[in-house]
Structures are given as C-alpha cells and as structure tokens.
Structure 1
Amino acid sequence: MDIGGTKVAAGVVDRAGRVRARARSETPDRSKSPKAVEDTITAVVDELRRSYEVAAVGVGAAGFVDEAGATVLFAPHLAWRGEPLRDRLRERLGLTVVLDNDANAAAWAEYRLGSARGRRDVLCVTLGTGIGGALIVGGALYRGRYGTAGEFGHMVVMPGGHRCECGNRGCWEQYASGNALVREARELARTDSPVARQLLDAVAGDPDQVTGPLVTRLALAGDPAAAELLDDVGTWLGRGLANLAAAFDPALFVVGGGVSDAGDLLLGPARLAFRRALTGRGYRPEASIVRASFGNEAGLVGAAILAREAALGAAG
C-alpha cells in the first residue's frame, strides 16, 4: 500500500518485485476522520484478496511514523494525528501489517531491487503531492531516534515563502513537488498569456483543471511553456539536493514519485542546478542523480518487500 495525499494505491507484489495486480482509490478528504482512510485501505486490500492469497500487508504512509512502526504521529496532507494505524489494520485485516513512511518504503524498493541496488549510501526523494525523503546508510534505512528522519521536503529554502501545509512558510516541497508544479501551471494559465495557449486549450480554458500529469504530457509533446514549468521545478530540486549532499554526502540520489515521469525534462535541470550549487564543486566526488526504477510504484513495492521480510522473519 502507498498512502499519499491524493491516492491510496495498492499492488500484489511477488518476490521479484513484480506488481501482479493493482487497485487504487482516492484518499478521503483530510477533513474527514482517520477512520475514513482506514476504511479505504481495508476496502482496497479486500478487493485484491478476492483474487490473490495475501501473506502480509506493507503500508507506506505519507507522514511521520514512530520508531516502533506502529503510529502515524503526523501527516501534513492527511487527517492522521497520533494514529495507531498498524494495530487497527492488523485487527481489521487479520494479517501481518508493517507500517513505515512512504519514502522509506520507496527507498527500500530501489535499494533491494532497483536503481540503488548494490549502493550502500543512498538518498531518495519522492516528488508527489509533497516531497518525501529517505536515507540509506551502510545498507540500512536510517529512521532517526524518533522515526521521523528524512522529512527533507520541510526544510525551509525560502524564508517567508509560500505557506506549507505543515504550518511553516517556504518549505522545499512548495517549490519542487507536484503541488508546486500545478500551482505554477495554473497561475500561468490564469494570465491568459499566449505562451500558455496549449495549456489552456488542453483544459478548455479552465485553469483549475490543469494537473501535473497534463503538464508532463504537454512538455513531452514539445510544449515550451510546460517544459519551462518542469525546468523551474527541476532547478529547485537540484538546489535542494546540493544542500542534502553537503549534509549527508551520499553516493547516489534516486528521484521517484509522479513528477519523475517527466524524466530528463525534470532531471536535466536538476543535475545542472545541483552542480552549480554543490559545495566544493570541482574538488569532490559528485553523486549521481537517477530516476527511480519503479517510478511511481516504488512506494507500494517497497512496502510489500518490508512486509514480506517481516513475515518471513516472524516465521523463523
């Protein structure tokens, strides 16, 4: 399971990391009770269990998960506040349930079977509704003392900048996420500028219908305005990664999440901005920046791998 601010995605994943079946639902509005999200998760799992024998359930949650892997302490884009999600799902599903941060789950998929395989010091970021982050040090997930390490999206990069759903202003995810891409695209569309003509034509003149996937499709098809929007997001991404390189010095950055579907239209500007902002550039090894092998499914694949490993461990 991959639980984000806009979607509940699930997949039946085999030992090789192949997704055999998928199910998806919209995430209930965060004004609704946490039980609404729990109900949605249960319904999606039950849908898949009708056709497959499920051994365990891994849940990657877009929020702060405590060090015990039991409770979602806080989720900026969801209604969870101190939510004992693991035990509630265990009770309802009658299965082994493993709970972790969604970016941790995505990083584990890439480390075990994807772009980071064989690399022991890796930093992963996922660009979706916000920015998730995860750090693998010496071949192990680094969760921090209280389980909340890796929340790189809430580093303040622009004091007094855009208000973030976490409550602060100027967080990195306000400039380098799917939400940032949509905000800027809609703002451009509302200007009714000639450069936004293809964008407006694609949504019949209604800026509120602009989405991130639409911007990506137009950019890949050659629309210069859409490509420029992705260039801006990529530049912010690269600057943030340079800051993380100064702090953690990983061998590799893996970029996943829905925005990474833009490929080099996003990563090209990110690599350029990274090189320009990197401390000690020209006199130090430079980490590579690559796209996640599992793309937008890294979170659910990694959650499944974590669940499988837990179930096998419990079986001795």
Structure 2
Amino acid sequence: MSPRLAIGIDIGGTKVAGGVVDESGAILHRARRDTPHRSTSPSVVEDTIVEAVDELLRHVDPDEVVAVGIGAAGFVAADRATVVFAPHLSWRNEPLHDALSARIRYPVTVDNDANAAAWAEATHGAAQGESHVVVITLGTGIGGALIVDGQVQRGRHGIAGEFGHMQIVPNGMRCECGNRGCWEQYASGNALVRETKGMMEAGSPVVADLLARLGGDPGALTGPFITEAAREGDPTARELIADIGTWLGVGMANLAAAFDPGLFVVGGGVSAADEMLLAPARNAFRKQLPGRGYRPEARIVRAVLGSDAGLIGAAELARAGRG
C-alpha cells in the first residue's frame, strides 16, 4: 500500500508553517513563509498558503498525498469552511475552504489552529491515553482546545476553545478582539514582550542588562530572546516569565472549574520557557482552584511536539477526513 501522506499548514500570527506528514506523525519536508500583514487582503494570505503547498509537493510523489489540512489562527465556523474572525489576520467571514479548494487539487480541511495542535498532542504527543484534555497554546496570543473521549469539542457554532479571550481582568487592557481584560493580554508572547519593552522604554534599570544585549534597541526584542536570557540566568527575564506563568495558572484554574480535565497540555512558542513558566503556573493554579484540597487536580505538562503541533494536527485532521 502506498503511503497516505498529508500536508499540514499552520497559520499563525507571524508565520505560515507547512509540512508533509506521514501516518506516524513524522514531518518529511517543511516550508515556511512570513504571515502577510493583517492589513493585506485575504487573497494574499491564500496565495501564501498555496505557495507553501506547491513547494511541499515538489518534494514528494503527488499521488501519495491524500489531503491538505489548514490550521487557522481564528474563529472557524461549525462548517469548518469559514473563518469567521481572525484577530491577527484580515479574515472576516472568509470562505477559506472554498477559496483554497478552487486552487488546490486535494481535499482541503480547515480548522482552528489550536484544535489542530491539540489533535496532534492527542494522537502523537503528551495527551495520548488521556480522556479529558485541555490544550493551551501560548504564542502571539492564546489559543486553546478541548478534547473529550477522543473528540475535539468545537461547540455549537464551531468557536469553542477561544480561551485567550476569556475576561480575567474587568476593564483591563484592550485586546485586539475588541474587549478588555482578555487572558491573552496577560499570559501570552505578546504580553511578555510588551511588559519587557515597556520597562525598557521607561528607562527601568532592572532591564538595563537586557537592553544592552539588544544593542540599546527595544524594537529588536522578541519572546525567544527573553526566554534565552532567562535560561542564562538573567533575573529580570526569569521574573517576567514567572509573571506570565502566574497569569497562566489563574486562567487554567477557571478552565478547571468549567471543564474538570484530567490534563492540561501547554504548547506554543512561549512554552519553550518550560519549568520557568510551568512551575509558577502550577502554583497559581493550586491557589486559585475552586475546592482546592478537596478535589483531584489536573496535571499540567508541556506539549512535546513544540511548534510542529499545529501543522501535524492539521495534516492528521485532513487525513482522518479522508477515512
């Protein structure tokens, strides 16, 4: 029997990552593009996706590919065809499935990127064997997904799992979704960079060493830079990551009250901070958990598939759709 390969495309706030994925979850070939700026037209994003798919097809026998899966950073409707709203992209009620199906000769599956990442962790990663799982993806913003008894729970309208837009601070910071106080404004990569940059621009001496490492340019600051500085022992970088972890734990306690999972899996780029992030998250989770001390606690672990989870999951969902 010939291999049943699938192509997965993960569309995030900063990059479009693609890969050819085999049935074991291994990525055979990769493609990467920068995500077009959100002010550009939807067709530009579609062009980027098609270019990535075409590049990947040049590395395999096209007859061995059975489907293409798209993990989109946004609200995907229950029809799994329309991106209703994407805070970091220009999509508003965008018929992405139909637009791509007209240009890609394989069956196309569209889903939320966090659903895709969660499915990857459930099939090939940290959530294997667990019946009730909440997956949190910490990147530019916060995505999330809920898996119960081997099924992704998408909700009545397909938009379940947008945990990053839970309000955790009434009248808090304005979010790109239009509301105030959303969780992702306090526990995401954007939040980490914003807080650090704000201290630099305010002239705080506690970030002087970090600023010097950037050559005095706060505009060069990135989340991975802060994580690397923390790994090398910078106390302010460690403190800033711990703050993000504390907010992460607060939000997860709210989710535990709602869903009672057995396991939280934390992925996305910010999870590279590992225990510097997860240890304070667990502490805050225990302090905020309703009924603490009298109920079983969900485990909190780091995702094992890293930044590949979205594209692997998108490919797996597409392959599953093909039977």
- With structure 1 as the length reference, what TM-score do the two structures score? 0.97
Instruction: Quote the residue 2:45 is aligned against.
Output: 37
Report how far residue 3 of structure 1 moved. 0.5
Tell me, what secondary structure is at the counterpart of 1:55? strand
Please give the residue correspondences for 1:231-310 in structure 2 after superposition, counting only pairs within 5 Å: 231-310=242-321
Hey, what's the Cα distance between the residues in 1 that align with 2:24 and 2:235?
A: 39
Hey, what's the Cα distance between the residues in 2 that align with 1:149 and 1:51?
A: 36
5+ long unaligned stretches in structure 2? 1-8
Tell me, what secondary structure is at the counterpart of 1:92? coil
Among 13, 16, 32, the residue aligned to 2:21: 13
Which letter maps to 1:272? N
Among 137, 143, 148, the residue aligned to 1:137: 148
Hey, what's the Cα distance between the residues in 1 that align with 2:232 and 2:312?
A: 29
Is this contact kept in 1: 2:249–2:284, CA < 8 A? yes
Report how far residue 194 of structure 1 moved. 2.9
Please give the residue correspondences for 1:181-260 in structure 2 after superposition, counting only pairs within 5 Å: 181-260=192-271
Which letter maps to 2:233? G
Which letter maps to 1:301? I
Q: Which range moved further: 48-57 or 61-70? A: 48-57
Is this contact kept in 1: 2:199–2:207, CA < 8 A? yes
Report how far residue 198 of structure 1 moved. 2.5
Instruction: Quote the residue 1:67 is aligned against.
Output: 78
Report how far residue 225 of structure 1 moved. 0.8
Tell me whether 1:116 sits opposite 2:124 in the alignment.
no
Report how far residue 86 of structure 1 moved. 1.0
Report how far residue 148 of structure 1 moved. 0.4
Is this contact kept in 1: 2:29–2:59, CA < 8 A? no
Hey, what's the Cα distance between the residues in 1 that align with 2:209 and 2:313?
A: 37
Instruction: Quote the residue 1:86 is aligned against.
Output: 97
Report how far residue 119 of structure 1 moved. 0.5
Among 27, 30, 33, the residue aligned to 1:25: 33
Which letter maps to 1:307? A
Hey, what's the Cα distance between the residues in 1 that align with 2:280 and 2:306?
A: 19
Hey, what's the Cα distance between the residues in 1 that align with 2:218 and 2:144?
A: 30
Identity across aligned pairs (percent)?
A: 64
5+ long unaligned stretches in structure 1? none
Hey, what's the Cα distance between the residues in 1 that align with 2:136 and 2:154?
A: 14
Report how far residue 109 of structure 1 moved. 0.5
RMSD: 0.9
Hey, what's the Cα distance between the residues in 2 that align with 1:31 and 1:300?
A: 24
Instruction: Quote the residue 2:12 is aligned against.
Output: 4
Hey, what's the Cα distance between the residues in 2 that align with 1:220 and 1:283?
A: 36
Tell me whether 1:107 sits opposite 2:115 in the alignment.
no
Tell me, what secondary structure is at the counterpart of 1:167? coil
Which letter maps to 2:203? D
Hey, what's the Cα distance between the residues in 1 that align with 2:49 and 2:70?
A: 9
Tell me whether 1:127 sits opposite 2:141 in the alignment.
no
- With structure 2 as the length reference, what TM-score do the two structures score? 0.95
Report how far residue 193 of structure 1 moved. 2.8
State the number of aligned residues.
Answer: 312
Hey, what's the Cα distance between the residues in 2 that align with 1:266 and 1:240?
A: 14
Structure 1 residue ranges, 4+ long, deviating more than 3 angstroms after superposition:
none
Q: Which range moved further: 194-203 or 215-224? A: 194-203
Tell me whether 1:51 sits opposite 2:75 in the alignment.
no
Instruction: Quote the residue 2:3 is aligned against.
Output: none
Hey, what's the Cα distance between the residues in 2 that align with 1:52 and 1:3?
A: 22
Which letter maps to 2:206? V
Which letter maps to 1:3? I
